[in-house]
Structure 1
Amino acid sequence: MTVTPASATPALRDARVPADGMYEGRRTLRRLPEGTPRLPYERFEIVPQGRVIGAEIRGLDLSQPLSPVLRDELNRALLEWKVLFFRGQGLNSQQQRDFAANWGKLETNPLLERGSSAEVVRFEKGGSAIPTFENVWHADVTFRERPALGAVLQLHEVPPVGGDTMWADMAAAYDNLPDTVKARVDGATAVHDFIPGFARFYGPEKLIPLQEEFPPVEHPVVRRHPETGRRMLFVNTSFTTHIVGMDRDESDRLLSYLVRQAHVPEYQVRFRWQPGDIAFWDNRATQHYAIDDYAPHRRVAERVAIAGDRPF
């Protein structure tokens, strides 16, 4: 038996943590770029739901047209909070489309079940439709050359428990990357493709005819917000296949690390739905996750998406 002399300084044993591990500690949490003036909201009440992301808007009836001044103030709230919640609106499809159209041309999506018009996507869980799965962190339609600016989602039927949706702030995710990782991803591009996300529930007969309409596209791994100028991570589990110029193993390891940043609770907000509630989110700045914990109950939602610009 080895005896340590009483005069010897105890040594800390060697320990190895996994490569690319995530660590506890205080994170940088800011809603807006440094130096942005904090102006009051005068036309509605805003109730924060999280530190950096998510706010409930009170005092508005979204069935009524928006004045240009009100639209601009709501847009300022969207840029600050990234996802806005409106309780009990109960809009019909036309009113939902009209509200979304204040932010631009509306998208159509041939990959998802159609609602009352081509611009309305219907998510019906527990019904007769082909089941899709949104319980993975993702941004919508990043396989498009111009991914969606944002989306307006309304819940029509809500399960008695469960069925929440979560959003993550991808600017906060970028802000907290180690400098060594930022140096690797700034200026890098990645390929996005619709096949990985939809091959989970559609067969080749559905996907092959759409391959020419949606060829693989390259987007920056870190995009700049076109209105705020903030840098944001722009890769996701559903559609990002690889980083250009890296071998497969290196790309897979780096992408795995990057997409895990959405899992950090400090960057998230979670919303418990009631029938008629609306969520309006900035798809450029966020990822979202629809929690699938309510089977066998029904959950019915309709979404209208707003066409966006090419990421840069």
Structure 2
Amino acid sequence: MPLLQRNRLALRPLTPVIGAEVSGFDLRQPLDADTVAELQAAINRWKVLFFRDQPISDEDQLRLGRYFGALTPAHPIADGLEAHPEIWERHASEYKKHRPDLGIPTSKPPRDYKGWHIDITFVANPNSYSILRGIEIPAYGGDTLWSNLVAAYDGLSPRIQSLIDGLQAVHRTGSYDAGSGPRVRRDGKPAGPFAALHPLVRVHPHTGEKVLFVNPGTTSHIVGLRERESQVLLDLLAEEVTRPEYQVRFHWSPHALVIWDNQATAHAGPIDYAHFDAPRTVRRITVAGELPVGPDGFRSQPLEGELFGVIS
């Protein structure tokens, strides 16, 4: 697709629906307010922004995140780096380990859908943005997919939209999120279990768009429906989340960095970790978010565990 030149940003959309590659400036340098505003507008439009050849430091990554809001701890369940507790480091080898869940769900979540998820929705206030940076990247493999959840909602029939606009669903920690970490984080906060009640559709706080707020990894059931009804509807909606026409695929390269709107996207990756043994290390930070609100005004509520706090 053609290059779109804004005042400061050069954007190259990767699909008509989601994803744009950004070029033209150095993330090691501080950004002025106008550039940050353009980045925010680009995220609102394209949902995921990709940057290449950005050999930044941990401190640069933290500074970039703070342009979009306060930063959270690395993860509600896992510790961050000791020097930078906001940073969560992940290795591809960790995905191959057996990850028993916490044993708390009362209903089965939808099928795994090959790792598709929204970050940290088992708390009532999931993060608003995620920023992921490549540290050690293999020559091939380890790609990540993102899906546009606004497009997923818009693609539903009006009757299904009307049905789900007023429904709520429970999100719980599961095997993907639980890992095998400590029950208490380094900062003394409990590391789960967590559960939250969310609207099945949320209204984006910046754009006003309706977002299909279904997390294939942690949405356990829809409140008020029989178990079979809940499972069938969740399977249908999870299939919408993962439809290829709403996706963008990113081939990582050394020093690449991605910013995505966690309020409007789901992602999966590394999608092929089971098929390669090359080292792959990434570091992620998350920007604090607010309580999601549904079209009917319902605001998310914690069911178990505390809200996701702010660290810096």
Give the TM-score category using the shorter length.
Answer: 0.7 to 0.9
Deviation for aligned residue 1:298:
0.8
Q: 2:85 aligns with which of 102, 105, 118?
A: 118
1:126 is displaced (CA, Å) by 3.4
244, 254, 278: which one pairs with 1:275? 254
Q: Confirm whether residue 198 of structure 1 aligns to residue 164 of structure 2.
A: no
Contact 2:214 / 2:241 at 8 angstroms: preserved in 1?
no
Say if 1:113 and 1:122, in contact at 8 Å, map to a contact too. Answer: no
Where does residue 296 of structure 2 map in the other structure?
none
Q: Which residue of 2 is the match for residue 86 of structure 1?
A: 51
Shift in Å at residue 309 of structure 1?
A: 0.7
Q: Which residue of 2 aligns with 1:148?
A: 127
8 Å CA contact retained: 2:9, 2:38 = no
- Other-structure match for 2:276: 295
When normalised by structure 1's length, the TM-score is 0.81
For residue 53 of structure 1, what is the aligned residue in structure 2?
18
**C-alpha distance in structure 1 between counterparts of 2:184 and 2:224, whole Å:** 27
Instruction: Identify the match of residue 60 of structure 2 among 68, 77, 95.
Output: 95
Per the TM alignment, residue 210 of structure 1 is displaced from its structure 2 partner at its CA by: 7.5
Query: In the alignment, is the contact (CA less than 8 A) between 1:125 and 1:299 conserved in 2?
Result: yes
1:309 corresponds in structure 2 to: 290
Alpha-carbon displacement from aligned partner over 1:78-133 (angstroms, at most 9, x marks no partner): 00000000101011111001001101111111423523411000001238996779
Q: Deviations over 1:135-163 (max 9, x none)?
A: 51111001111101011100111122210
CA distance in 1, matches of 2:146, 2:129: 13
CA distance in 2, matches of 1:129, 1:260: 24
Correspondence for 1:241: 220
In 1, Cα distance between equivalents of 2:253 and 2:217? 27
Distance 2:36 2:98 in 1: 35
Distance 2:30 2:47 in 1: 22
* Counterpart among 258, 272, 275 of residue 237 in structure 2: 258
Of all paired residues, the percent bearing the same amino acid is 37
- Please give the per-residue CA displacement for 1:267-306, whole angstroms capped at 9, x wherever unaligned: 0100000011000000000000001345211110000110
Residue 94 of structure 1 aligns to a residue in which SS?
helix
Shift of 1:256: 0.7
8 A contact 1:134–1:289 mirrored in 2: no
CA deviations 1:50-77 (Å, max 9, x no partner) are 1110000010111111111110011000
Instruction: Give the alignment's Cα RMSD to 1 decimal.
Output: 2.6
Secondary structure at the aligned position of 1:174 is classed as: helix
C-alpha distance in 2, partners of 1:207/1:180?
A: 45
The one-letter code of the counterpart of 1:123 is: R
Give the match's secondary structure for 1:103. coil
Rounded Cα–Cα distance in structure 1 between residues aligned with 2:259 and 2:172: 25
Q: Measure how far apart 1:214 and its partner are.
A: 5.2
Q: Relative to structure 1, is the Cα distance of residues 211 and 192 closer, same or farther in structure 2, using a 3 angstrom cutoff?
A: farther
What amino acid maps onto 1:73 in structure 2?
Answer: E
- Cα pair distance change 1:215/1:126, threshold 3 Å: closer
- Structure 2 unaligned runs (5+)? 100-111, 294-312
Structure 1 unmatched ranges of 5 or more: 1-38
Work out whether residues 76 and 192 of structure 2, in 8 Å CA contact, stay in contact via their aligned partners in 1: no
Within 5 A, what are the aligned runs for 1:104-183? 104-108=69-73, 109-112=75-78, 114-115=80-81, 116-126=83-93, 135-183=114-162
* Aligned counterparts of 1:234 and 1:51: Cα–Cα separation in 2: 21
